[in-house]
Amino acid sequence: MESQTMPEAKVKERVIEAVRGLPDDATVEDAMERLYFLAKVEEGLRQAEAGQTIEAEEAKRQILG
């Protein structure tokens, strides 16, 4: 059970740091954008570690159709 608690604590710490890094006049939407961006980066890193990547040329082909 402790292995589940530790990652949650680290996530909470990362969220708090992300919010602290916002300017004083930031909006709730600014905070949400920052957290969404961080979530997507973490997901991309997880996928890369799991070997779920594609070559740059394949990505270009998929984007450009």
Q: Which domain holds residue 23?
A: 2-64
Above 70 in pLDDT, residue 1? no
Q: What is the pLDDT of residue 6?
A: 56
- Could you tell me the pTM of the whole model? 0.69
Q: What is the pLDDT of residue 8?
A: 77
Average of pLDDT values for 32-46?
95
User: Domain tally for the chain?
Assistant: 1
CB 52 within 8 A of CB 60: no
Q: Would you list the DSSP string of 4-36?
A: HHHHHHHHHHHHHHHHHTS-TT--HHHHHHHHH
